[in-house]
Each structure stands twice: as structure tokens, then as C-alpha cells.
């Protein structure tokens, strides 16, 4: 079935790892969902397959909660609402979800990892070494995220992952920032941030999730005490159509980054706390032992210092003209190379001589090289 706003994937249409497509395969557990392509390969050749024809492509695709399947092009669709975030998506741009698989395959679990997921999105954007190592070892994005969330959980709370665990408190979120020595982080009241013209990106907000609109998940996904702020979302660099967030609980939009109206966001965050983090592009990491890392402000490499200009006296200029201003005379041959020393003026150039720095009339010099 093909619906308005999507088209079939052509049999030999180029597909990139990281591209997001919609599944249209009746009977598949992923039918209707937006998935990410994690591997592309040709099917194994059948004995009866014509020797002059290539075998069809088959794709390994993953949903945001880690479920995966191998599918042919006929089971996938290019949809208008996901095509813009398709091919070649960098890991730093990918949404981080708190969903994982139940053993019974329902796609949800009892882990309350919204705080950890918000931290993980920031860590990935900062090139956190543990994540890069997991990807280099062949772990999928979803697998690497799961392991990184477990790491954040145990550092922040001192407890390992377990089903139906409690949420991470603000003090745990603070503890992780302390443990990683994040430079410049601040825990502040959200009211001091949310009423500005521009909300600072890379800030983790504690919110009352049911007040966020448009809703990205059923209210049944939330706890019983809806007025208690108990959900974390990460503010991302903005977009023209509204503030962009990594909401780890996002579900109805295919588990992707989402926008909320400014008014609903302010209502949801009023009276709560937020953790303001530095821009991840400014962070460098160094090993701290036991598989941990500490953050440092990335130091920009020094700008290369250009070699000083080199000059010599123009041919034919008599030495007795005395092109050098100041005490001391130029007694060497006219082909002597002089190195510029400092900034020139419109008519004079400072050059280094055996008698020190002297100002020479630029009109009497010619540049070497």
C-alpha cells in the first residue's frame, strides 16, 4: 500500500546507510514505522538467476527502539515527511530515544532513561570517546546508545540498569556533570531561561511532559502524577519553525527530534530546573582511568605565523643615498637580503639589519621571492 506523500523505493535507487524510510509490509512488525538503514547488500545469487543480471538489493533496517529486520526495496517507501532527514545522516544529528525492547517484543520497557538519553545526545555531539569506540567496534547506533546510557546511569546514580527503575533525580544529573568535569555547566531555575527571546541550546530541561504540544506520545506513557515535573528533554540548536528538542519519549513522529510551541514549553518548564551545558563542539576529552573521561575546553590550534617578508635594495640605488633611516650606515653589498620586522607604514618598512631594526623607504626596496 502506498499513501499520499510517499513513493515506492526503486529497485536500484541509491540508498545510504543512515537514510530513514517508511516500512510498508503487511504482516511485518515494523509495518508503517520509520526505520533507519544500517546495512545495504545484494542478495545471494540463486542458481537459476540470469548470469548477466545483478541480484536485488536487501537492506537491514532498524526502528528507533532497536528492533530490526532485513527488507527488500519493495517493502520500503520514501516518504516526504522523512526524506529531508535521509541519506548520510551523521550520528551527531540522530535522535536519541529511551525506548528499548521488551522480551515480548512490544517495543517499550520500564526503564526511565530520559535523563540519560538527554546526556547521551550531548555526549555524541561532543565526540565522546566511548561512543566512537563502540561504533568502531561494529556496534549499531542503537546498540552504542544503549551501552552509553547504561554508563551514564551508573555514574549518575551509582546503580546499574534494571527494569522499573526510578528516574534519575536532578542531583544525579548534577553528579554526572561533576564526574565528567564539564567546563562551564550550570544548574539554574528554568524560569530564568525560558522567558528570553532565544532559549540557549544544549540545555536539559525538567518538564511536565503532558503540557507539551503538539503531543509526541500518548498520555498513558506518563506517570500517574502528571503535575510532577519528572521528564527531561534536551534543547537543540533552533529551527525557523520553532524550538527543536531531543525528547527521548517521542513516539508518534517516528521517534525523531520534534518541535513544541513556545507557550507549551514555557508552561511545562515553569518552576523547574535546567542544566545548561556548553556547546559540545567546544569540548575535548581526555582519559581519566577506569574507562572514564574528563572534559576540557577545546583549545583552538594556534594560527600559523606567516614568514616575514624579505627585501633587498633595488638595483641601481647608490649606497650613498642612505635608504636606511636612523643611526648606522648600510655598508654591505646592495644584494643583501633584509628581513621585515613588524608592520610597514605606507612609505616605510622596518627591516632587520646588523645594526638593529631600521626604517627603510619602501620605494627603494624590492621584495624577494
Predicted pLDDT at 173:
93
Say if residue 215 is in the same domain as residue 324. no
108 part of a folded domain: no
Predicted pLDDT at 108:
44
100 part of a folded domain: no
103 part of a folded domain: no
Among all chains, which residue has been given the C-alpha cell 568535569? 181
Say if residue 177 is in the same domain as residue 292. yes
Return d(Cα 357, Cα 274) in angstroms, integer: 58
Say if residue 77 is in the same domain as residue 131. no
Please list the residues that pair with 59 across neighbouring strands. Answer: 40, 71
Say if residue 347 is in the same domain as residue 281. no
Residues of the chain falling short of pLDDT 50: 1-2, 83-89, 101-110, 325-334
**With helix as H, strand as E and coil as C, how does the chain read?**
CCCCCEEECCCCCCCCCCCEEEECCCCCCCCCCEEEEEEEEECCCCCCCCCCCCCCEEEEEECCCCCEEEEEHHHEEEEHHHHCCCCCCCHHHCCCCCCCCCCCCCCCCCCCCHHHHHHHHHHHHCCCHHHHHHHHCCCCHHHHHHHHHHHHHHHHHCCCCCCCCCCCCHHHHHHHHHHCCCCCCEEEECHHHHCCCCCCCCEEEEECHHHCCCCCCCHHHCCCCCCCCCEEEEECCCECCECEEECCCCCCCCCCCEECCHHHHHHHHCCCEEEECCCHHHEEEEEEECCEEEEEECCCCCCCCCCCCEEEECCCCCHHHCCEECCCCCCCCCCCEEEECCCCCCCEEEEEECCEEEEEEHHHEEECC
Say if residue 177 is in the same domain as residue 278. yes
Say if residue 161 is in the same domain as residue 272. yes
Predicted pLDDT at 66:
74
Say if residue 211 is in the same domain as residue 236. yes
Predicted pLDDT at 100:
59
Among all chains, which residue has been given the C-alpha cell 633611516? 325
Q: Domain limits at 268? A: 114-297
Predicted pLDDT at 245:
93
Say if residue 118 is in the same domain as residue 184. yes
Predicted pLDDT at 332:
43
User: Where does residue 345 rank: exposed (0-12), middle (13-18), buried (19+ CB within 10 A)?
Assistant: exposed
Please list the residues that pair with 348 across neighbouring strands. Answer: 361
Say if residue 127 is in the same domain as residue 273. yes
Say if residue 195 is in the same domain as residue 273. yes
Where is the domain boundary, 297, 322, 340?
297
The domain that contains 53 carries what CATH number? 2.30.30.140
283 part of a folded domain: yes
Return d(Cα 245, Cα 96) in angstroms, integer: 11
40 part of a folded domain: yes
Predicted pLDDT at 146:
84
Say if residue 185 is in the same domain as residue 269. yes
Where is the domain boundary, 297, 322, 338?
297
Say if residue 287 is in the same domain as residue 325. no
Number of domains, the chain: 3
Amino acid at each position: 500500500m502506498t499513501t499520499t506523500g510517499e513513493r515506492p523505493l526503486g529497485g536500484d535507487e541509491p540508498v545510504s546507510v543512515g537514510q530513514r524510510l517508511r516500512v510498508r509490509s503487511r504482516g511485518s512488525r515494523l509495518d508503517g514505522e520509520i526505520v533507519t538503514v544500517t546495512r545495504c547488500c545484494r542478495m545471494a545469487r540463486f542458481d537459476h538467476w540470469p548470469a548477466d543480471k545483478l541480484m536485488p538489493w536487501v537492506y537491514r533496517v532498524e526502528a528507533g527502539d532497536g528492533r530490526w529486520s532485513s527488507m527488500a526495496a519493495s517493502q520500503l517507501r520514501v516518504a516526504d515527511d522523512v526524506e529531508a532527514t535521509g541519506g548520510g545522516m551523521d550520528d551527531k544529528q540522530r535522535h536519541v530515544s529511551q525506548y528499548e525492547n521488551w522480551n515480548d517484543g512490544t517495543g517499550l520497557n520500564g526503564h526511565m532513561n530520559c535523563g540519560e538519553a538527554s546526556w547521551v545526545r550531548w555526549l555524541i555531539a561532543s565526540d565522546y570517546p566511548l561512543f566512537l569506540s563502540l561504533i568502531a567496534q561494529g556496534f549499531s547506533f542503537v546498540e552504542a546508545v544503549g551501552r552509553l546510557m547504561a554508563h551514564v546511569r551508573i555514574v549518575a546514580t551509582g546503580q546499574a540498569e534494571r527494569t522499573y527503575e526510578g528516574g534519575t533525580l536532578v542531583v544525579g544529573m548534577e553528579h554526572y556533570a561533576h564526574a565528567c568535569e564539564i567546563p562551564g555547566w550550570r544548574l539554574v531555575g528554568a524560569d530564568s531561561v525560558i522567558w528570553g527571546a532565544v532559549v540557549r541550546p544544549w540545555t536539559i530541561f525538567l518538564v511536565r511532559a503532558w503540557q507539551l504540544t503538539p503531543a509526541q506520545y500518548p498520555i498513558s506513557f506518563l506517570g500517574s502524577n502528571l503535575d510532577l515535573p519528572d521528564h527531561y528533554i534536551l534543547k537543540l540548536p533552533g529551527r525557523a519553525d520553532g524550538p527543536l528538542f531531543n525528547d527521548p519519549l517521542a513516539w508518534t513522529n517516528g521517534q525523531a527530534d520534534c518541535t513544541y510551541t513556545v507557550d507549551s514549553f514555557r508552561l511545562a518548564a515553569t518552576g523547574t530546573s535546567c542544566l545548561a551545558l556548553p556547546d559540545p563542539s567546544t569540548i575535548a576529552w581526555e582519559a581519566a582511568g577506569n574507562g572514564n573521561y574528563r572534559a576540557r575546553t577545546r583549545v583552538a590550534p594556534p594560527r600559523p605565523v606567516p614568514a616575514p617578508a624579505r627585501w633587498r635594495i633595488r638595483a641601481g640605488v647608490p649606497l650613498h643615498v642612505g635608504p636606511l633611516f636612523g643611526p648606522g650606515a648600510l655598508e654591505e653589498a646592495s644584494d643583501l637580503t633584509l628581513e621585515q620586522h613588524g608592520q610597514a607604514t605606507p612609505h616605510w618598512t622596518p627591516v632587520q639589519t646588523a645594526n638593529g631594526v631600521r626604517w627603510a623607504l619602501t620605494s627603494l626596496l624590492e621584495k624577494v621571492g
